[in-house]
A and B are shown apart, each in its own frame.
Chain A
Amino acid sequence: MKPFLIGLAIGTAILLLFINFGSSFRPEQPISFNHKKHHEQGVECATCHSYFKEQTFSGMPKVAVCMECHKDSLTNHPDEGKIRQFHEKGGGIPWIRLYQQPDHVFFSHRRHVVLAGMECKSCHGDIGQSEKPPTKPWVKMTMKWCMDCHTKTKANNDCLACHV
């Protein structure tokens, strides 16, 4: 029996290693974006994430928006040139999405930001003060985490509100 248990332990270790490897994936954004710098220059969230007030999604920054300021050299940051490269190549900047809801969940930015008057901070943390792009979501969005807030603020807690 003992060898079996040893084997079981080894197997579990391998398994955990794999799962851990999967979840410890730390994505590197194509451009090392500095939220703080932009914020200090007076760039609003909506300038780059242009849809969060009207749509379910907030939208990733479009290269055309970047180009409005970074068309010519503005800083001496090594990543600045990449913007122009992406622009020339066409097809936008391949940003990596960190915040993703599971497929059976319907989430609307508009509903949370405009109608409930929530701040970006509530879900995205102090992203405006970050100097480097985060590599993982600020919070693990479990249903419990959603519902805690929904209960506290007496928001809609009908299943159909999120699970359409």
Chain B
Amino acid sequence: MHRWGMVIDLDRCSGCQACMAACHAENNIAIIGPEESAMGRTIHWIELLPFIEGEYPHIKARLLPRPCMHCEHPACIKVCPVGATYANEEGIVGIVYSRCIGCRYCTTACPYTVRSFNWYKPQWPKEMEGSLNRDVSIRGKGVVEKCSFCHHRLLKARERAKAEKRELLSEDYIPACVQACPSNAMYFGDLNDPFSTVSILSRERRAFKLLEDLGTEPKVIYLSEGM
């Protein structure tokens, strides 16, 4: 059984936000215009978060790309009253949109604020409609959405591997953000395999997880900057 996980090397990351754009393109994320954005209704499945500390001129700043952590013990699942969000056998936390009733308990419960709510039915000008990704559904009004580790890509990769009569290799499946990352700061793979790149990196001295003390056990691991 695979245990999919991601490693983000902050020393390589340049904060360019290609991951954010790639995610929008891959997952048909709604266009949230200026007025709605001002109300904090933007939707990003992965977002670059700034942490700026200290006082001028001695500032310690950090930029952190934050996808869904796909926790081992996710807070969001426990609060969902309808079972719309769940963790599958491989540890990917998913949402079944047709079950979601839009109560947003999960949005509040998630300590990493990865979940967004669709306040309106997403709309695209008709000139753009055909350019949406056909492998991913369009969410409706009133459902919560978040990063799925591009699970549809996993299914496709499995399909390909099976058709070629071979085992699934870890390079068969990477999410759109990892594929786009220009400075190769993101790694993706199987945490259960002790020799996979992500496993090896996750044991590095620089490795840390976000809000570790909450006991959520995220499957997204960061490598800090510097030596």
Contact = CB atoms under 8 A, between A and B. Distances in A.
Contact of A159 (B86, B159, B162): B86
Contacts of B162: 115
Interface of A: 103-104, 106, 108, 110-111, 114-115, 158-161, 163-164
Interface centre among A104, A158, A160 (most CB of B within 10 A): A160
Interface stretch (B14-22, B93-101, B113-121, B177-185): B93-101
Contacts of B159: 108, 110-111, 115
Contacts of A160: 88, 92, 94, 96, 148, 151
A158 B87 CA distance: 9
A115 B92 CA distance: 23
Contacts, number: 41
Interface in B186-214: none
Contact of A164 (B86, B137, B163): B137
B163 A115 contact: yes
A71 to B, nearest CB: 33
A164 B136 contact: yes
Contact of B97 (A110, A115, A163): A163
Given A104-B97, A111-B159, A164 B135 contact: yes
Contact of B88 (A106, A158, A164): A158
Interface string B136-172: 1100000000001001100100010011000000000
B161 to A, nearest CB: 10
Contact of B152 (A114, A115, A158, A164): A164
Nearest to A111: B159
Contacts of B97: 104, 163
Contacts of B86: 159
A114 B165 CA distance: 11
A114 B155 CA distance: 14
A145 to B, nearest CB: 17
Contacts of B94: 158-160
A159 B96 CA distance: 7
B89 interface: yes
B96 A103 contact: no
A54 to B, nearest CB: 9
A103 B92 contact: no
A163 B98 contact: yes
A104 B137 contact: yes
Contacts of A103: 137
Interface centre among A111, A114, A159 (most CB of B within 10 A): A159
A115 B135 CA distance: 18
Nearest to A110: B159
